[in-house]
Amino acid sequence: MGTGKRLVKYALTFKRTLYTGLALLAVAVAGDLAGPLIAKEIIDGPIAEAEDGTLNFEPIAYLLAWFFGLAAVAAVFRYGQYLLLQTTANRVIQKMRNDVFQHVQTLPIRYFDNLPAGKVVARITNDTEAIRELYVTVLSQFATSFMYMAGIYAALFYLDWRLASITLVLVPLLYGWMLFYRRYAAKYNHVVRQKISDLNAMVNEAIQGMTIIQAFRREQQMQDEFEEMNNTHFRYQNKLLLLEAATSHNLVGVLRSATFVLFIWYFGGAALNAESVVTVGVLYAFVDYIIRLFNPISGVVNQFAKLEQALVAAERVFRLLDREGEPVADEKVARYRGNVRFEDVWFAYKDEEYVLKNISFQAKQGQTVALVGHTGSGKSSIINLLFRFYDSTKGKITIDGTDITSLSRQAIRDHMGIVLQDPYLFTGTIESNITLGDKRVTRAAAEKALTDVGGERVLNHLPKGLDEPVVEKGSTLSSGQRQLISFARALAFDPAILILDEATSNIDTETEEIIQHAMEVLKKGRTTFVIAHRLSTIRSADQIIVLDRGEIAEAGTHEELMKLKGRYYQMYLIQSGTPGGEAQPVG
């Protein structure tokens, strides 16, 4: 389905108000265009028939009453159509933005791996705002203009079909100009919209990385890159400006002049004979209608730029909506026990470039399984597969004997909790960041979860406790406080499987001890996966899996691996500062 048809389909979602608005517009146009016909009747009737300077004012008063009455009706109906069409336009964009945002949340994590956040933001905000201009301004103007043009042409043919035929030459001229304009404007607008996305992405990245930019004195470099991108945007905006300058008033002025030349030629040459002379009233009405005809023509031509911008923006939005998302299911499954098994699992982010190879292990209910290894060894990839952020290329993963691919992603994650190395906090309060708006997690449960992880240290230093405001990403809190809140968030949902992705790397030793103590109590009956760089924090794990280049190099308890004197042994000696350890990168 083409972009135009899809835009019409969106508009027809609210066809009741749309059709009502168009009907009111039709009445308003009819009332407005009746004016010249009434004037024609006054001129050719009472005024032309007046004898000896005596004018019968009664029929004139009657016609004038109709004139002002229709003008009042047109004003009222125009007000109504404006409200209805604008409301419809706003509703369409509201629905489109909701659809885009909802769809973005269903897109697989893989989609966002190589796409800057700023570009996604541009689709949801900038591009939909350009489409809003289409519905609010362009389509409203087009509907009004085309109705006026249809009404004027009907009136012109009613008055004199030969004179009206002259003005029909405007239709192919306008259509040809629109095709010419779109040929170049589409190319320029694609570049402009793309550069807006790139600028958004760069600004977003610069804000996120401002600390690094300033610390390494990269301000000028970033400025140069931004200016280069902005200059490209400026050049193509200027090309559009030059193209638009040739339209609008210039084009309309040429067409108006050409029409009046033909009109004068008709009266001054071919039409000046006794049989084809028109009345003064017809001539007046005809001139009035021709003058009025160029108002909607000007309105259409002036909207070409916004129309093309909106079509390009719509194409980008629909391209995003056409990306296959993952189904969001509301199915609920009973809280599983948490027996996890990986059976000969292989996984590649890119075709055949496997980051996990032949991974097989089992984590029983209540066990703590630690994943260790150097950076890029596959630790986080295992967690990504377990959460079904990605699906394995080969092999299978089961929970309590059930293949996780047979369950919806939402059902699996309903009984999982995760704490990341860099915890993300949303704008709101500490309580809202723990409960995430889930009514199943009460305020008391949130407070208890925070207390269980030693979070009273957070509350004691904050005047409003759980109601303390949190800004974006929790930037006003210390890294330890953010981590404790993130930890409490995971525990508040009482997950069957808990994942700690280097969760203790950003907190001090004292806080780490509090969490370790809380974990001894909280991991009972819960399967816990820990990705850790501090090997001292996983000594009590029931199973430690050492990964190397996507494969399991060693597996066992701390004591078993130390006796093995393999990779884990070497890493542990290096971290503990014990002589005899060979250097090997960790994490």
Provide the pLDDT for residue 508: 64
What separation in angstroms does the CA of 310 have from each of 22, 157, 265? 21, 35, 41
Provide the pLDDT for residue 587: 46
Q: Listing from the earlier edge strand, what are the strands of the sheet with 497-501? A: 416-419, 497-501, 527-531, 368-373, 543-548, 551-556
The token pair at 582 is 């060979």
Question: What's the helix, strand, coil split of the chain in %, to 5?
Answer: 65, 10, 25
Give per-10-residue mean pLDDT for the chain (587 aa): 85 90 88 83 72 70 86 90 88 89 84 73 80 81 84 84 78 77 78 82 80 79 88 87 69 73 66 58 79 79 78 86 81 86 93 90 93 89 91 93 90 86 84 88 88 74 83 76 83 88 66 66 80 83 93 94 92 77 44
Provide the pLDDT for residue 52: 60
The token pair at 287 is 């001139």
The token pair at 586 is 């960790």
In the chain, the amino acid numbered 66 is W
Q: Which residues are CB-contacts of 573 (< 8 A; sequence separation ≥ 6)?
A: 579, 580, 581
Angstrom distance (rounded) from CA 158 to CA 426: 66
Provide the pLDDT for residue 364: 92
Which domains, and CATH codes, for the chain? Answer: 3-321 (1.20.1560.10), 332-415+497-508+526-587 (3.40.50.300), 422-494 (3.40.50.300)
Provide the pLDDT for residue 352: 79
Pair type for strands 428-429 and 551-556: unpaired
Provide the pLDDT for residue 423: 80
Find the largest Cα–Cα distance for the chain.
Answer: 129
Provide the pLDDT for residue 539: 87
Provide the pLDDT for residue 585: 42
Angstrom distance (rounded) from CA 434 to CA 441: 8
Angstrom distance (rounded) from CA 476 to CA 275: 89
Angstrom distance (rounded) from CA 522 to CA 252: 76
Whether the CB-CB separation of 488 and 434 falls below 8 Å is answered with yes
- Collapse the DSSP code of 32 into the 3-class scheme (helix H, G, I; strand E, B; otherwise coil) and give the result: helix
